Structure 1
């Protein structure tokens, strides 16, 4: 049975540093050699190596204690070696004889009312002998001899089977490690064996009887939060600086044309976005343990509200400015379509109201709450698992609410990009922020995709998720601020007194030419070139003919003997213009 057990242990790899086999070692010597199973002896010994076995001790632990027969265990062992016997239980047979001898010696006081043939039939002898054996407490060669409910309470040896391999053979050694001595309280005292050997483990120590779980809190470190808070503070100071600049130079022509009040809305939205970074890094360790749950529920809601409203105000303000440019410059009668700032405020207010309705419905129907989640990490030690405890804001229908907000803001971004593309050719920097809408659209899309990816893959790593999300928010908001206000700062620095003439509203139109029209124009051009070249050649020929006629006329004028001349009209064959040329013809008669 043991051979089959260790064969299966080898086949299923149930041995090594994570396993420790313990068996009851009442097997015949070298029992592992009797191997009828599918595994060979080497495989069985591989799984058997290091196995602990327990069995009754062969001789008593106190080897110098004299027994009832005036014999010590060492002397008994010596006598056995002289007899050349190696039976493991011979000491127990010797102690059994001692026990019976002691019991019969105590039966001499029983009345002699029996014959030798009927000794076990007499109640006096039978009962008395049983009682004497039950109460026996003597010292034998196998240790203290006494009984508990008819069972011998003896010493127990703890041994280990060790397998040693060399180049030529395999050696199996059974080493005694400890001896358990019984006490009067039915307990045992564990003492080291005379070999002074310890248990040989396959690993660094005894294997665990269960997987050890180590719980660790996964929080955002103070250093990380401090760095992000400083960056957010710098961004808020930058936004406040642009706000002061916008207020001071609000009467400047360049600033006035760009709607300074709407610019203030952009700044307000960016400040709220910066503030959301501060809220994202707050956890229960910063708030304390007493009121952390209720406070964290409030923080969970505040994170969504601040970031969503900040985006709506800033992007909605840029969107409204682009909408006004689109309304003015895409109609013929632009003066009748002028849009005042209060209409832009109403537009942003409508977007803000839609945000408030959606967020309020989310907060009332399915509010965000803080939950503690657990993620596990396997260590190099397979029996040790680290449990990371982290906090997460969740609700029952979170994907539905996020989808609703994404659709609403996605439509806003698509329409805004449409207006930005339609007004891309309006070349008035102070008035048209359409380029900034395109850049803002890119930033928001990048932020949304990154946040979604980070939220999915790093949801169990709050510090990394916080770092990546915060960096993208800070980067996108800062880019929007700089795109909107840095050109204005440069223009004011160039013309602080607003002396430059305002730009004229110009929409550059570019006529789109199809491929067929291009081919037709090319053919027409080639035909014109050929025609002009032909005309050029004819004009050169006419010029030569004219030179000949001029020479003849000059010769006729200089000749005093000339008679009459006849005049002819010469028409150049290559032009449509009529040239009158006096051509003298000599009369053949005269």
Structure 2
């Protein structure tokens, strides 16, 4: 049973087996679906298959095959291939013949042979072959008429003329040649002919073409390359053959080098011509810091090097310089990280889309930023869909809003007729007619077309200018050869002095052979470019329209505006502490007055009043130091601040020496005199007051000497500490830079270490001496226990405060509060402990000076008598203690005997109270005993 569908039977009948398609191609099966093709192994008789090729390849060989009854396909002796096709224009030759082998389409392997008709001469190679890349391996030759009029050959190595660049430049050059050849006043005995080749902007391809040009007839007189990479190769080699090179599309700054390219000229201005305009705009908008991002190519690198030199001369800094090869993501992030605001971008149009997609992602646009771009991109370059980016058109439009472009003026903005007798608008009209009405935005090289047009005119006028001088020397232009330097020199001089009005503006070359031109300044406003000015770099003249538009109130700042803001001490805290300090000073005055007024009272005399006076004065000086501690830039000018620093140091240092030094002296001498063994006490010399004062003087002198050395060797001055910048609460393009003023010196830590070490030892020693003398009782210095208590408090507060204030030095409020309150508390404690008990005693006991005048004697004899009386009382006290012990023992024995004879309930209390001469009370006796004995 046979199952059939339609006219094709899907069974094993007589037919042809399926064959493999050609490489880079496939087979079209008529009437079959994909599923049927997979299941069929044999196709029926008379079934036809058709070969198809991928991309722009074509079939070489049979395109259709038919299944024969014998089970084979037709023309199996001829294989079918999918090959690239070379341009067909090579297969025809004006005024000549072309033979092709093999015949058919010009595909890979096809050979073309050229010959000219009688009366014409073949210029170029007589054969060419189509290679695997779909290109002919040699330029197309031409057939020139053997006329009486001399022919000058102008060879060009431009961009691909059917792709970007040459689509408009080639018709413009041909327009110029037609006008020149029709002018009787320009090269009347010569005719310029244009022979163009495609270098693909590839230096390797250009090398091959240059070789063919130089080693085939006729001799060439001028080379006109297009793109920068090819111009670099051609211009560097041309001097070996004494050839002038004139480029219409090269902008690389590297070509402006007369040592390397001695015969090079160009009607396309150098890319560095943008830089004077950029610098002028930076100065106009008062920017002194810019950033750059470039694609890593030679033209942009050299442009940026030139810009760096120019901005340096103008006093402008390039703070950030980023580059990328293919992916700009990291470079854009770095711009954001380093707070770039004014950014110059140097990259091609395709890379510009990548950059601004990343700009949108990093939010590197808006009122804070200005981008400077190259102006020769298409007007809608940011709206073109590009598979290389993942940003929408709306996002790209938002990111590019407000950027500024600088563009060389390639079309004369004025309505003037130049050397070609055409205005710029008439030139455009004729060019559009040549292009067949194509959209200029979609026509490669449309903006550069006026430069190609003027390049032909510059060459024609220069050659015309050389005819007379050469004739005077016995030369003609047609006498040129690759060894004739004189004709080259004449052409060079003529080119170097060229000056005429072209459709692109005034044509003139600088010393490096580069075109001088105006620069157009545009800004993207609301999705379209608006002209905002022109800049003439030759005269330094900026023509400004005043229609620039900004998102904010005006041009943004070139960096985040940093407002310096000093941190000052809280005035509430300062006033509060100052009130306590003033009260403390009043208390010190009261204590000092009291001590001086009652200095002849015996009780006051026995406390060494002069040392107590020094303590009071020192406490008041320490309290006075609180005021300069709280004074900062809010109260005094910075020039006066070092004086405040000196007051802080001297008041606090001398106050400590007087207050603590006098107390330390008391403890020291109490320990020295009254802590010896009993048998040695009587033999010790009497304590003389001058020794106490001398001790205080020594401590004070050490401080004065150390402070004087400090101030002479390394004086205090003001230093400013900077903190992390802070953003204000309001949405402003500013940052707050907090600053804090300090009193410091070059070796501040060293000096503080010396002072703190010395004072710390005194404090520790004072604590030790106070502890050792706590049980000593003497009338010579009767307040040494109160002094010890004061020393404890002062030492603890000082040893805690010193390191803490150093740690908190960056926190002005905390540091001041800790230091000032430590001073206030230690002073208050010292004054209260030393003076209040004395006031209380004199008030409660009435021991005023008037009551004691009759019995108190002055001088050292009185003091000596009191000391003798004290010793006598001590001896009597010891004798009484012995008697009391004996009586106590007898009483105990008697009581015990009574208890043994009966039941006794009672309490025995025996004791003795005795009052010391200095008012201290002692109790000697037994404890209360309660016996409850059995009956």
Band the TM-score falls in, shorter-chain normalisation: 0.5 to 0.7
Deviation at 1:306, TM superposition (A): 0.9
Residues 1:36 and 1:447: Cα distance change in structure 2 (over 3 Å): farther
Q: What is the CA–CA distance in structure 2 between the aligned matches of 1:116 and 1:288, rounded to whole Å?
A: 81
- Matched with 2:289 is none
- Matched with 1:403 is 757
1:303-338 C-alpha deviation (Å, 9 max, x unpaired): 5751342233343266369769x959x9999x9799
Aligned pair 1:505/2:920, yes or no? yes
Larger proportion of strand: 2
Counterparts of 1:415-426 in structure 2, within 5 Å, are 415-420=769-774, 422=775
Give the alignment partner of residue 88 of structure 1, picking from 447, 458, 481.
447
Deviation at 1:438, TM superposition (A): 2.4
Contact kept, 8 Å, 1:371 with 1:391, in 2: the verdict is yes
Per the alignment, in what secondary structure is the counterpart of residue 340 of structure 2?
A: coil
Q: What is the CA–CA distance in structure 2 between the aligned matches of 1:488 and 1:353, rounded to whole Å?
A: 28
Q: What is the CA–CA distance in structure 2 between the aligned matches of 1:240 and 1:29, rounded to whole Å?
A: 82
Give TM-score, length-normalised by structure 1. 0.62
Give the alignment partner of residue 350 of structure 1, picking from 689, 692, 695.
695
Deviation at 1:96, TM superposition (A): 2.2
Q: What is the CA–CA distance in structure 1 between the aligned matches of 2:342 and 2:693, rounded to whole Å?
A: 72
Q: What is the CA–CA distance in structure 2 between the aligned matches of 1:157 and 1:386, rounded to whole Å?
A: 44
Q: What is the CA–CA distance in structure 1 between the aligned matches of 2:816 and 2:766, rounded to whole Å?
A: 27
1:98-127 C-alpha deviation (Å, 9 max, x unpaired): 434544665675676667744789988755
Per the alignment, in what secondary structure is the counterpart of residue 144 of structure 1?
A: strand
Q: What is the CA–CA distance in structure 2 between the aligned matches of 1:264 and 1:111, rounded to whole Å?
A: 114
- Matched with 1:392 is 744
1:71-105 C-alpha deviation (Å, 9 max, x unpaired): 44455556656632332211212222343454466
- Matched with 1:273 is 622
Give TM-score, length-normalised by structure 2. 0.42
Deviation at 1:247, TM superposition (A): 2.7
- Matched with 2:496 is 134
Per the alignment, in what secondary structure is the counterpart of residue 181 of structure 1?
A: strand
- Matched with 1:18 is 340
- Matched with 2:288 is none
RMSD across aligned positions (CA): 5.8
Residues 1:204 and 1:486: Cα distance change in structure 2 (over 3 Å): farther
Residues 1:182 and 1:361: Cα distance change in structure 2 (over 3 Å): closer
Counterparts of 1:277-292 in structure 2, within 5 Å, are 277=626
Q: What is the CA–CA distance in structure 1 between the aligned matches of 2:574 and 2:334, rounded to whole Å?
A: 50
Residues 1:203 and 1:189: Cα distance change in structure 2 (over 3 Å): closer
Q: What is the CA–CA distance in structure 2 between the aligned matches of 1:183 and 1:9, rounded to whole Å?
A: 31
- Matched with 2:836 is 486
- Matched with 2:75 is none
Residues 1:111 and 1:260: Cα distance change in structure 2 (over 3 Å): closer
Aligned pair 1:476/2:838, yes or no? no
Deviation at 1:153, TM superposition (A): 0.9
Per the alignment, in what secondary structure is the counterpart of residue 556 of structure 2?
A: coil
Deviation at 1:473, TM superposition (A): 1.9
Q: Which of structures 1 and 2 has the larger relative contact order (alpha carbons within 8 angstroms, sep 6+)?
A: 1
1:551-570 C-alpha deviation (Å, 9 max, x unpaired): xxxxxxxxxxxxxxxxxxxx
Deviation at 1:450, TM superposition (A): 1.5
1:510-531 C-alpha deviation (Å, 9 max, x unpaired): 99x9xxxxxxxxxx99xx99xx
Counterparts of 1:133-212 in structure 2, within 5 Å, are 133-149=495-511, 150-158=513-521, 175=529, 180-185=534-539, 188-192=540-544, 196-198=547-549, 205-208=556-559
Unaligned residue ranges in structure 2 (runs of 5+): 1-294, 296-323, 355-383, 728-733, 853-914
Counterparts of 1:44-443 in structure 2, within 5 Å, are 54-60=406-412, 62-74=413-425, 76-77=427-428, 83-84=437-438, 85=440, 86=443, 87-103=446-462, 117-118=478-479, 127-149=489-511, 150-158=513-521, 175=529, 180-185=534-539, 188-192=540-544, 196-198=547-549, 205-208=556-559, 235-252=584-601, 255=604, 258-274=607-623, 276-277=625-626, 302-303=650-651, 305-316=653-664, 319=667, 327=674, 342-343=687-688, 346-347=691-692, 349-350=694-695, 352-354=697-699, 356-357=701-702, 360=705, 368-380=714-726, 390-393=742-745, 394=747, 397-398=750-751, 399-420=753-774, 422=775, 431-432=782-783, 434-435=785-786, 437-443=788-794
Per the alignment, in what secondary structure is the counterpart of residue 920 of structure 2?
A: coil
Aligned pair 1:9/2:331, yes or no? yes
Q: What is the CA–CA distance in structure 1 between the aligned matches of 2:614 and 2:329, rounded to whole Å?
A: 78
- Matched with 1:540 is none
Contact kept, 8 Å, 2:786 with 2:834, in 1: the verdict is no
Residues 1:300 and 1:11: Cα distance change in structure 2 (over 3 Å): closer
Residues 1:372 and 1:202: Cα distance change in structure 2 (over 3 Å): same
Contact kept, 8 Å, 1:157 with 1:179, in 2: the verdict is yes
Q: How many residue pairs are counted as aligned between the two chains? A: 493
Q: What is the CA–CA distance in structure 2 between the aligned matches of 1:212 and 1:378, rounded to whole Å?
A: 15
Per the alignment, in what secondary structure is the counterpart of residue 405 of structure 1?
A: helix
Q: What is the CA–CA distance in structure 1 between the aligned matches of 2:826 and 2:557, rounded to whole Å?
A: 55
106-115 vs 238-247, greater mean Cα deviation? 106-115
Per the alignment, in what secondary structure is the counterpart of residue 478 of structure 1?
A: helix
Deviation at 1:148, TM superposition (A): 0.6
